[in-house]
A and B are shown apart, each in its own frame.
Chain A
């Protein structure tokens, strides 16, 4: 059983389109995250939700909007896609243990904007 799943795995779309990436976790975790990994393989946090409430919102364009319908889901909607949005997007969830949060990552969604 997949712990953290993302759909789609690959997404190719044109500039200006609106797209969504879905994430689901079946681990019972309260906190979920979206990360972006750029072409240089550098990971950066975008958003974090705890119990459906936004707790981290890094400096990302407001074209990116996370939506958490329930604790097990955190979807990422992107409006007016730009070439620079091409990247791999990772969803993760976390469990509080040993005074910090152990991360469980999804397989990633490779977004290509043409």
Chain B
């Protein structure tokens, strides 16, 4: 079993829909990261959080440390949001552990 799990594995949505991607982890962490990997392969860091909630444009990330769970929400989804979203945790041993990714396709 991976130390970081994501659900769903694949997600197809219609443009405008509200999207939620979930991440759960089983190790102690100092922070959790949400990354976006574009179809072309490039990786961009979206959020880094250790508590609470962060918002950037149409993206919202939340984390519940007690439940070892984080969610990434996309409001008013758009086809350009189509990408793989990766949850990664930084452990107390200063290591990064990545989830398997969620492949999102937003249809026009």
Contacts and interface: CB of A to CB of B under 8 A. Distances in A.
B95 A103 contact: no
B72 interface: no
Contact of B41 (A45, A101, A107): A107
B42 A107 contact: yes
A100 B31 contact: yes
A29 to B, nearest CB: 13
A102 B35 CA distance: 10
Nearest to A100: B31
Main secondary structure of the interface of B (DSSP, over half): strand
Interface residues on A, range: 20 to 34
Interface stretch (B17-25, B73-81, B82-90): B82-90
Contacts of A90: 43
Interface in A99-114: 99-105, 107-108, 110
Nearest to A103: B45
Contact of A55 (B43, B48, B94, B101): B94
Residue of A102, A103, A107 with highest tally of chain B CB at under 10 A: A103
Interface string B3-14: 000000000000
Nearest to B97: A45
B78 to A, nearest CB: 22
Contacts of B84: 41
Nearest to B2: A42
Q: For A48, A100, A101, A110, which residue has the most chain B Cβ atoms within 10 angstroms?
A: A100
A103 B35 contact: yes
Contacts of A63: none
Contact of A56 (B35, B37, B94): B94
B43 A105 contact: yes
Nearest to A104: B45
A77 interface: no
5 contacts: A33-B96, A41-B37, A41-B84, A44-B98, A105-B35
Interface of A: 33, 40-45, 48, 55-56, 58, 88, 90, 97-105, 107-108, 110
